[in-house]
Amino acid sequence: MTVSELAEKMELEVFCLGDPEHGIDSAYCGDLLSWVMGRAEMDNVWFTIMSNQNVAAVAVMTDLSCIVLTEGVKPDEQLLERAKTEGLNLLGTSLSTYRAAAAFAKLEDSPE
C-alpha cells in the first residue's frame, strides 16, 4: 500500500503529500520522540498527537513513510513548513490513535 492509497482508504486529511507513492510497511504509535526513534521501523506509518517540527525531524531520521496526526490535531506552522521543505507526507484524522491504528491494521490484513 502506498501513502496516497492509505490517505484515500482511511479518508485522511492531507496537510502535505511530498512523497505520495512511498510504500508502507506496518505502523508505530507514540508521542515520546526518542521512543519512536528507537522503536519505529523504516517505512512505518506513524500515529501521533505531537504536532511540533521535531516530529518532522524524527520522521526524516527514521525514514518513516508518513506521519498521521490523530485526535483531530493540526500541525503547527513550523511543522507544516518543515514537512513541505523535506517533502514529507503529513496527514490527519479525527480518530483516536487507537481507532486509527485499528483501522490501519484492518486495511493491512485485507487483500488488495
Residues at the contact surface with other proteins, assessed by CB under 8 A: 31-35, 37-38, 42, 50, 52-55, 57-58, 60-63, 78, 86
**Least distance between other proteins and beta carbon 106 (Å):** 28
**Least distance between other proteins and beta carbon 42 (Å):** 6
**Least distance between other proteins and beta carbon 3 (Å):** 18
The C-alpha atoms of residue 2 and residue 7 are separated, in whole angstroms, by 9
* C-beta of 32 vs 102, nearer to other proteins: 32
Backbone φ, ψ for residue 111 (5° rounding): -65, 145
* Sheet order of strands, 27-29 included: 13-17, 89-92, 66-69, 45-48, 27-29
